[in-house]
Each structure stands twice: as structure tokens, then as C-alpha cells.
Amino acid sequence: MRQKTIRWRVMLLLLLGSIPMFAQQQQEEALPFGAMDQWIDRQIEESAIIGGATKHVYAIGPTQVIKDNSAYKNMGGSPWGTSNVMARVAGITKTNTSVFPEKRGDGFCSRMDTRMESVKVLGLVNITVLAAGSMYLGEMAEPIRGTKNPQKMINSGIPFTKKPSAIRFDYKVRMSDREKRIRATGFSRITDVEGKDFPAVILLLQKRWEDSEGNIYSRRVGTMVVRYYETVEEWQNNATYEVLYGDITNHPDYKEHMMRLQVEERYAVNSKGESVPIKEVEWGTADDVPTHMILQFTSSHGGAYIGSPGNSLWIDNVRLVY
């Protein structure tokens, strides 16, 4: 009888001892404003020469309405930037909105669309660009003055020193039926680009440093990149994707598109206040502690001005798992 009692006590201790470990493994951390329920409605009046319409340019942040044409900076502690911007080109104020709050249950989610945006004024300006919907951790420098090197206008990533095991969110996808993508930069001829367009999610943990000349370098500490290859009509709740650490080139889940920062350079603001490329020079180790996190959700994977109109990505309830 005594031996049986001891066995039960041992089993009980083992069970109770496993509960904190399980809870720790499943701990979630919601990103600020990651529930996508709070949005700023910027009501911007475009120039009279292109119609003078008042456009809604949405930002992720504390709920409010802003009725003026001032340049936007992240508000209320929100770490999110989006591809929604105000531009002033050749003295003309024009907006682009490709990220929208959409009603979901008692709150909202974020919908990102890939679409064409045009501004034409006879004898002055004639621009047609492809605009992918994108939301990211970082900040856009407004107003946009042209279409050259748009990544330089983004301060990409936020300070971050933790090491999550995964990222978790709800999503659904709508895919364009185009087999080729479009490249439309605004000033050159619109052309086709080989390959289908895929919505994507990119999470990179970097260990950054700056040299005496203001150049920013980084090591890749953590990686999570996923692309969506087909329409997903119903919400996929609590989708969870593992963050891989260190040099992952021999990992069975490694794909070539995980190596680079994406398909183009990303930029950050250095200590001198200058926007400079983030020069990712090598893989970090699994023991490295990151200094920054890059996180981007996008309706098109190919970079600026490349994609397929009709692609959409819905995202809600973004959080990290530890």
C-alpha cells in the first residue's frame, strides 16, 4: 500500500511539474495594436487639379479621425507602418490606400490589396504604379516625393531583444488568376514579370550594429518566411509558424527565398538621422540575441511595383509565441 501511495505521489509531482513548462511553451504576447481593432482615419484632400477628392488613408493606431494634409508619423505607441501614404509629386497631393480596416465579428481585421494607382495631368504628370498592400513594423517618411527607391522612405523594423519560438495570427487569402505579374513603376513602360504573385509574411530577427561612418550592418538571428500559393476563403485562426534560429541553410524547411532580406534592400535610420541600407552580412548563431525585429505582411511578394492586381491578404490577431 505504501509503495502504491509513493507511486501516485511521484506521478502527481511529475504532472504538476509539467504544467508550468507547458504554460511557458504556449505563452503568447500580443503585439501592440496587433488585434487590428484600432485605426486612424486620415481624411486627406487631394489636389484640385486631379479632382480634389477627400480620400481615406488608414493607419494602424489609436482610433481617431485626422482631417488635414499633414505628414504622418506613428501615433499612440503603434509600431505599425503601412503602404498607405500621402505623396506630393510635382506639387500635386495624391494618396494611395491599399490597406483597409474591414469589419470582423465585434472588431476589425486588416485587408491588404494589390491594385493599380494612377495620376494623370496633361503636360504635367502621368504616373501609373502597381501598389501592393503591406503592413510592417516600422515607419514611413511622408510625404513621398517620387517613385524612385521607395524602400529608402521606410525605417524598417523595431528594437527587439526577445527570441520567440513562433508567430501566430489569423488569415485568409484571395489569389489573382494571372499567371504573370505586372511591373509598373510610374515612369517606365508597364511590363509583365515571369512568375505568379504570392502574398507573404516575413519575420526576421537581426543583430544590428553601426560603424563610425553611419553604415548599418546585421546578422540574421531568426527567420520565418511563408508564402501563400492558393486562395483560402475561410479564416484560418491561430495559424502558427515556427521561427528558425541561426544558420538555417541545412534545415529541412529552408527555402532559397529565406536567405535574403526579401527581393530588395531594406533601410533603417542611423544615429546621424540618415536612411541607409541594412547590410545583412552573415548568419548569426542560435545563441545570438537580436537587437531588431522586421515583420511584414504583404499581398505581393515581389517587392516595389511588382505584383498582380486582385491579390488580397487578410490578417488579424497578431501575436508572438514563447
β-pairing, 244-245 vs 191-193, is unpaired
What is the 3-state composition of the chain as percent helix, strand, coil, each rounded to the nearest 5?
Answer: 10, 50, 40
* Residue 9: predicted pLDDT: 53
What DSSP string describes 40-63?
EEEEEEPPGGGT--EEEEEEESSS
- Reported pTM: 0.88
User: Looking at residue 77, what is its pLDDT?
Assistant: 97
Which mean pLDDT values do the consecutive 10-residue runs of the chain (322 residues) have?
Answer: 50 45 68 98 95 96 96 97 92 94 98 89 74 97 85 95 98 97 88 96 97 96 96 98 94 82 76 95 94 98 93 98 98
| Whole-Å CA distances, 128 to 20, 192, 287 | 56, 14, 46
What single DSSP character describes residue 36?
Answer: -
Q: Contact 94/57 with Cβ under 8 angstroms? A: no
The answer to whether the beta carbons of residues 101 and 82 sit under 8 Å apart is no
Q: Is the dihedral of CA 54, 41, 156, 164 positive or negative?
A: negative
Structural domains in the chain?
A: 31-321 (2.60.120)
Q: Which residues contact 280 (CB under 8 A, 6 or more apart)?
A: 206, 217, 218, 219, 220, 260, 261
3-state secondary structure 259-318: CCCCCCCCEEECCCCCEEEEEEEEECCCCCCCCEEEEEEECCCCCCCEECCCCEEEEEEE
